[in-house]
Amino acid sequence: QVQLVESGGGLVQAGGSLRLSCAASGSLFSINAMAWYRQTPGKQRELVAAITGGGSTNYADSVKGRFTISRDNTKTVDLQMNSLQPEDTAVYYCNAVGLVLRIGAGPATFDSWGQGTQVTVSS
């Protein structure tokens, strides 16, 4: 299966910046799209930003103008977070969807999630 590893979370003061990174690894696979989600206790996990292989991006209204998602290659995705606010505090999860080649079978779709990284913004 495809495994995702996030990094870059931490504690930052309001107005500061953090850069999250996610790297995908595993067997032969290709990624069609990658995204960042976040979740706080008692709240539905929400999409923060997404990017397709063609470079199209989508952002939650709450982060537009402050966050930027990018892909250096087909297996990594970054989230640059500027002007962070306490409301941005959450566990951030990396997500990737695509195709994986199965031994003895044809390709199959996959939908993988990272373990999550804590982002805490203090006032």
Please tell me the predicted confidence (pLDDT) of residue 104: 86
pLDDT, tens digit, for every residue of 83-95? 999 999 999 999 9
Above 90 in pLDDT, residue 107? no
Query: How far is the CA of 58 from the CAs of 83, 84, 88, 105, 122, in angstroms?
Result: 19, 19, 17, 34, 27
Torsion sign, CA atoms 60, 65, 68, 69:
positive
Backbone region of residue 55 per phi and psi (left: phi > 0; alpha: psi in -120 to 50; beta: other values): left
The DSSP letter of residue 97 is E
pLDDT, tens digit, for every residue of 40-87? 988 999 999 999 988 999 999 999 999 999 998 878 999 999 999 999
pLDDT averaged over every residue in the chain = 94
Interatomic CA distance for residues 19 and 119, integer angstroms: 10
Please tell me the predicted confidence (pLDDT) of residue 70: 96
Please tell me the predicted confidence (pLDDT) of residue 48: 98
